[in-house]
Chain A
Amino acid sequence: MNRFAYIEARLNPNESFVSRDRNVKIYDGDQKTEFEEGEVVLTSHRLFWGRPGEIARAAVTLCLPLHYVISLSEETTASNFFGRKTRIIMHLRPPQADKGPGPLDTSRAAHIKLSGKNGLSVEFHSALRETISARVWEVMITNEMVISSPENKAASGSEDRLARIQKRTGIGGIERHLEAKAKATDENIALAFQDLSVLMAMAKDMVGLSKTISGKIREQKGEISDDETVRFKSYLLSLGIDDPVTRDNFTSNTAYFNSLAQQICEMLLDPIEEHGGMMSLADVYCRVNRARGLELLSPEDLLHACEQLSGPIRLRSFPSGARVLQLESHDDALIAIDTLEQVQAATSLAVEELAKNLGISLLLAKERLLVAERLGKVCRDESVEGLRFYPNLLLHPVEN
């Protein structure tokens, strides 16, 4: 309770009245004190406690600046006759050195309790919570420097009254509080994105740097071992595309998608060949964005670009609805024969097994088997154990 000070109960400029309650006593920690049956007044900055009438007379009362409050909690006790009542516990920061004299300055308790005969009123309780979380005193400190010039004094009087009305609790108060919070969040987000754009600008420099380094390496081949060169080059490659196609550089969507398609085509030609001629759109999306680094593509843009693809790679939709990028040279008949060979080698294959054998995704493995099935190369066996595919012996029996 040593955070309280004896101060006249007058409002400072900018301070506004929030709520009051009667018949309140203060506990120092868990100990009862002589401060009973008093009146508390909550302002935007402080909490006053006085004997009845003292606060109205602006006499010297107990005062606790709210910036001491760390958090609030409550406890419920059984009252003799009136059922249960609630006490508010205020957890406090250590007292500041320049604090004026107050009661029980020797106390060690780090919290006080407010209690009343019938507990504290609900209004006071919620007002207290709101005031503490609004932290008006922090805002005012900064504002004071601007507003405290003398010619504003008169205006601030009426503003003060206005603020007093505005600071009132109730639904309006809660709404204002929420609004303020949303505003703060917005600012935070804007700030975060500012950081990101700086990072992206930096990324261009990074790519430039890596280019010059790789150029230097090429010149001085003798001094660095080939192995190191190769490793460094692979690092550079994993940095991605030097000059990603971005929307900013184009005025029309068509031109944008066309050049995007071209870039995707150049980039994916090798990986798709490695993957047996087909790649699901999900894989494409991941790979493209991994290579682009920060200039990420949206799935829609990627899809549009893929639709523009012509030449060695094209977009293909399966009857099942799955879409993949496929090499033009990649033929269903070839897939089917290839798949049949896989199935024959294993007598029968489930989708998962084919996916594992070929190192492709489940989706692609399933499409491969379905293609082979559509061409009559394999046939299906559905049982409680799941779906398996067999060589189509029904149509092409083994010659005995």
Chain B
Amino acid sequence: MSDFQWPWEYTFPPFFTLQPHEETRQQQLKVWADLFLKYLKHLNRFTLSINEQNFPLYHNETLKRRLSPELILLILEQLQQSGHAAPLDKRRQEWQVYWYTLEEYGNMVYDWIQETGQTNSICTLYEIASGENTTQQSFHGVDEAVLVNALRLLEEKGRCELIEMDGSHGVKFF
């Protein structure tokens, strides 16, 4: 895995302090949200805990600056607004973060199913997320928990049906 290319802001100390100036703050949060997604994609991680003190994303060791939990929460809420994150617990400490929005994931999976003519057949989630056939797809490697959420959204639209089998999920597309 190649080294992550940090943006220049990551070495700029004020980047780690919430800016009071409205416009600056918007820009700051935007860059942070972008960085969160990029970094998690780089690591292929889909969950994030606010309390993970020494996570490089929160903590620039050479600069001796770290994000305060409040600021992390603010960034995650920003991501939630754009549909790229969702809290996993009520205290909003554990978060699910995803590169594409759930809707985008759902559409991508459905497009792929249609292209490969798998409508009306049943797939396992493993096949979709990690199967050999999907290696070229952008949703390859997606977290199964995220995938389930995306498929639930599809299910609401009547495009598929989730089936529970021995604790794992299967899905039938229409």
Chain A residues in the interface with B (C-beta under 8 A): 348, 373-374, 376, 379-384, 388-390, 392-395, 397
Chain B residues closer than 8 Å to A390, beta-carbon distance? 12-14
- Complex: A395 Cα to B24 Cα, angstroms: 6
> Are B17 and A382 neighbours in the complex by a CB distance under 8 Å?
yes
Q: Report chain A residues within 8 Å CB of B9.
A: 393-394
Which residue of B19, B21, B31 has the most chain A CB atoms within 10 A of its CB atom? B21
**Which of B13, B14, B16, B19 has the largest count of A CB atoms less than 10 A from its CB?**
B14
Tell me which residues across on chain B come within 8 A of A383, comparing CB atoms: 13, 16-17, 64-65
Q: Which residues of B contact A393 (CB under 8 A)?
A: 9, 12, 14
Q: Are A380 and B12 in contact (CB under 8 A)?
A: no
In the bound complex, residues from chain A placing their C-beta under 8 Å from that of B56 are none
Chain A residues near B24: list those with CB within 8 A: 376, 379, 392, 394-395
Q: Are B13 and A388 in contact (CB under 8 A)?
A: yes
Tell me the nearest residue of chain B to A393, going by C-beta: B12
Other-chain residue from A348, A388, A394 in contact with B27 (beta carbon distance below 8 A):
A394
Task: Please name 29 pairs of A and B residues whose Cβ atoms are closer than 8 Å in the assembled complex, sorted by A.
Answer: A348-B13, A373-B20, A373-B21, A374-B21, A376-B21, A376-B23, A379-B19, A379-B21, A380-B19, A380-B20, A381-B14, A381-B16, A383-B13, A383-B16, A383-B65, A388-B13, A389-B14, A390-B12, A390-B13, A390-B14, A392-B14, A392-B21, A393-B9, A393-B12, A394-B14, A394-B15, A394-B28, A395-B23, A395-B27
Which chain A residues border B16 with CB–CB below 8 Å? 381, 383
User: A360–B128 Cα gap in the complex (Å)?
Assistant: 67
A383 to B65, CA, bound (A): 7
Closest Cβ of chain B to A158, distance in Å, is: 83
For residue B53, give the distance in angstroms from its CB to the closest CB of chain A. 15
Contact A394 B31 (CB under 8 A): yes
Nearest A residue to B68 via CB reads A382
Residues of B within 8 A of A397 (CB): 8
Residues of B within 8 A of A373 (CB): 20-21
Task: Looking at the assembled complex, report how far the CB atom of A389 sits from the nearest CB atom of chain B, in whole angstroms.
Answer: 8
A390 to B14, CA, bound (A): 7
Residue of B nearest to A382 (CB): B17
| A residues less than 8 Å from B8 (CB atoms) | 397
Smallest CB-CB A-B distances: 3 pairs: A381-B13, A381-B14, A379-B14
Chain B residue at minimum C-beta to C-beta distance from A377: B21
Q: How many residues of B contact A (CB 8 A)?
A: 18
How long is the Cα–Cα vector from A379 to B22 in the complex, in angstroms?
Answer: 11
| New A-B pairs, 20, CB < 8 Å, besides A390-B12, A394-B9, A394-B27 | A373-B21, A376-B21, A376-B23, A376-B24, A379-B19, A380-B14, A380-B20, A381-B16, A381-B17, A383-B16, A383-B65, A388-B13, A389-B14, A390-B13, A392-B14, A393-B12, A394-B12, A394-B15, A394-B19, A394-B24
Cα of A393 to Cα of B17 in the assembled complex, Å: 13
Bound-complex Cα distance A27 to B6 (A):
95
How far, in Å, is A363 (CB) from chain B's closest CB? 19
Q: How far is the CB of A7 from chain B (nearest CB, A)?
A: 88
Give CA–CA (A384, B63) in the complex, Å. 12
Q: Shortest distance in angstroms between B103's beta carbon and chain A's nearest beta carbon?
A: 30
> Looking across the interface, which residue of chain A has its beta carbon closest to that of B65?
A383
Give chain A residues whose Cβ lies under 8 Å from the Cβ of B13. Answer: 348, 381, 383, 388, 390
B70 to chain A, nearest CB (A): 12
* A348 partner residues in chain B, CB cutoff 8 A: 13
B22's closest neighbor in chain A, by CB?
Answer: A376
Bound complex: CA of A383 vs CA of B19, how far in Å?
Answer: 13
> Whose C-beta in chain A lies nearest to the C-beta of B28?
A394
Please, how many angstroms separate the alpha-carbon atoms of A181 and B15 in the complex? 67
Q: Tell me which residues across on chain B come within 8 A of A379, comparing CB atoms.
A: 14, 17, 19, 21, 24
Determine how close the nearest CB of chain B comes to the CB of A382; give it in whole angstroms: 5
Q: How far is the CB of A61 from chain B (nearest CB, A)?
A: 88
Chain A: CB-nearest residue to B31: A394
Give A380 to B28 CA distance when docked, in angstroms. 12
Query: How many angstroms from the CA of A253 to the CA of B1 in the assembled complex?
Result: 79
Among residues of A, the one whose C-beta sits closest to the C-beta of B15 is: A394
Provide the bound-state CA to CA distance between A390 and B24, in Å.
13
B65: A residues at CB distance < 8 A: 381, 383
Closest Cβ of chain B to A381, distance in Å, is 4
Residues on B with C-beta less than 8 A from A392 are 14, 21, 24
Q: How far is the CB of B168 from chain A (nearest CB, A)?
A: 45
Determine the residue in chain B with the shortest Cβ distance to A387. B17
> How long is the Cα–Cα vector from A380 to B20 in the complex, in angstroms?
8
| Chain A contacts for B31, CB-based, 8 A | 394
Please indicate the chain A residues that have their CB under 8 angstroms from the CB of B20 in the complex: 373, 380
Nearest-neighbour CB distance to chain A for B152, whole angstroms, equals: 38
From A388, which residue of chain B is reached at the shortest CB distance?
B13
A340 to chain B, nearest CB (A): 13
Report Cα–Cα, A376/B21, bound state, in Å: 6
Scoring A374, A376, A384, A389 by chain B CB atoms within 10 A of each residue's CB, the highest score goes to A376
Chain A nearest CB, measured from B66 CB (Å): 9
Which residues of B from 1 to 46 have beta carbons under 8 Å from A?
A: 8-9, 12-17, 19-21, 23-24, 27-28, 31
How distant is the Cα of A263 from the Cα of B8 in the complex, in angstroms? 54
For residue B141, give the distance in angstroms from its CB to the closest CB of chain A: 32
